[in-house]
Homo-oligomer: A and B are copies of this chain.
């Protein structure tokens, strides 16, 4: 059987590598691991979602997909499933909580009925297409029910950690399944794919339990309301907040749709343990003493439209921040959001709240393994080949260096980018081709229709707006039949610049008379030159010429 090559292909563009989606291919069989979204970056103007572009890779291989395996229920691992399932009809395998969160997502998109969802649990071993034998093993992460994968293939055993850390005292479930990792190690695995997010972070990532201590200090000191901002998907964190509130005789209200939905789903599935009477409706808080109130709110990234953002901006319909409130930022800040988060924090302070957000306050810990944990993982699994994944290139390089320092020869380590194909056969492993792909932009209902030209236009419009000149010419003589009309937005404040607009119109009239050649070129050059010299701005200039 081993006459085919085993291929491992992380999908997506530059950014975090091997995180959102990975394909494993052998013969005419494909296994997909995760299907998540990337957060749009600042210069992806107007883009709602960014997903790995699987269309090229799967073009002729839709029927080859034997299974889609999802490691845990975070957006960057499940967010692209609706798009993938619209193209590929294959069974999805995930743990119970993950399946519940996937169902929620598919329901929101009206796709629930189409999916073939299969619930597995850590320890299960499932054959997909008779060729890939997938064993799921328990790992610790910032969401319950996360798993790693051992994939047995005709060429050898692949161990894939998923997102993980080694937490001896996690907020949910037991410590990671070290036994399984050691067992894989004894099998002599072909290749290890491991989470590199914190590969440049020395030491160990603190346990989730340390957050309990952080919360206890906050709850002990706070005299007024406590408002904790976190992600809807950080379900273990929600549990910790509920526990802290119960310990300190406070009720908890949830504020923000994504938090409400995921909390409800987690509770329905038994992943959230709420003592009776602790969880109450936001509306029922009225009349209750502030010292008995906890609110868990969306908006940890400073989003102005989320619950915390509306409080910060004084636009929340039911809550007004006041002196005595304690706001706790209990999540990481996604790179790029630092500025909006800082602004929200400043506005909360402005209204009298005390805001707790520092690392030293222990109200958040990372869900990813640091260097010492990565070393332990490596020593348990003892792979022949190593592919660092889940991180930007700099993290993969740091992780690769760690593996080299532990004795793995450099030629057995593949630092690859998304789209690179790593191929294995009985002669060994190597990086071969690069397949076409990248990121696919979702904007409104359009998928992949926003290309570089539209983004360049949006960028230009965002900087200096546009100026359009509507010019009517006699179709026979080419002479102006009316005064040009200028329409502009985002360039100058029109009401205070009527004079500039009028002079621009005059300039068009004068120049059209001077040279009667191509009116489009004349108008464009006239306007661009004149507006730049007067304002040092470069709006998008467009002539509209009507000949009648």
A interface residues, Cβ below 8 angstroms from B:
14-15, 41-42, 45-46, 200, 202, 335-336, 338-340, 342-343, 345-347, 349-350, 354-355, 357-358, 360, 392-394, 397, 417, 443-446, 449-451, 453-454, 457-459, 461-466, 468, 470, 472, 481-482, 485, 487, 489-493, 496-497, 534-537, 540, 542, 544, 546, 548
Contacts and interface: CB of A to CB of B under 8 A. Distances in A.
A535 B41 contact: no
Contacts of A540: 489
28 contacts: A14-B350, A45-B462, A46-B462, A46-B465, A200-B360, A335-B338, A336-B339, A350-B417, A443-B464, A443-B535, A444-B535, A444-B537, A446-B537, A449-B493, A451-B493, A453-B493, A454-B465, A458-B461, A461-B462, A461-B489, A461-B490, A472-B546, A481-B548, A485-B544, A487-B544, A489-B542, A546-B546, A548-B548
A349 B395 CA distance: 10
Nearest to A482: B548
B492 A446 contact: yes
A548 B474 CA distance: 13
Contacts of A490: 45-46, 454, 457-458, 461
A525 B392 CA distance: 45
- Provide the main secondary structure of the chain A interface: mixed
A481 to B, nearest CB: 8
Contact of A546 (B14, B468, B470): B470
Contact of A339 (B14, B41, B445, B457): B41
- With a 10 A CB-CB cut-off, give which of A355, A472, A489 has the most chain B CB atoms: A489
A41, A465, A482, most chain B CB atoms within 10 A: A465
Contact of A466 (B336, B350, B489, B536): B489
A250 B259 CA distance: 57
A459 B360 CA distance: 36
A394 B544 contact: no
A364 to B, nearest CB: 15
A488 B309 CA distance: 33
Count chain B CB atoms within 10 A of each CB in A340, A357, A461, A497 and give the residue with the most. Answer: A461
A386 to B, nearest CB: 17
A458 B540 CA distance: 12
Contacts of A338: 335-336, 338
Contacts of A46: 462-465, 490, 537
A234 to B, nearest CB: 21
Q: What 7 pairs between A and B have smallest CB-CB spacing?
A: A444-B536, A462-B462, A336-B339, A461-B461, A46-B463, A457-B490, A444-B537
A530 B445 CA distance: 13
Contacts of A443: 464, 535, 537
A166 to B, nearest CB: 21
Contacts of A468: 468, 487, 544
Contacts of A534: 445
Contact of A492 (B15, B449, B465): B449
Nearest to A540: B489
A517 to B, nearest CB: 22
A300 to B, nearest CB: 15
Nearest to A452: B493
Contact of A458 (B14, B454, B465, B470): B465
Nearest to A464: B46
A278 B200 CA distance: 34
Nearest to A442: B536
Contacts of A339: 41-42, 335-336
A540 B116 CA distance: 41
Given A465-B457, A540-B489, A349 B444 contact: no
Nearest to A346: B393
A14 B493 contact: no
Given A14-B347, A358-B200, A462-B45, A496 B457 contact: no
A446 B542 contact: no
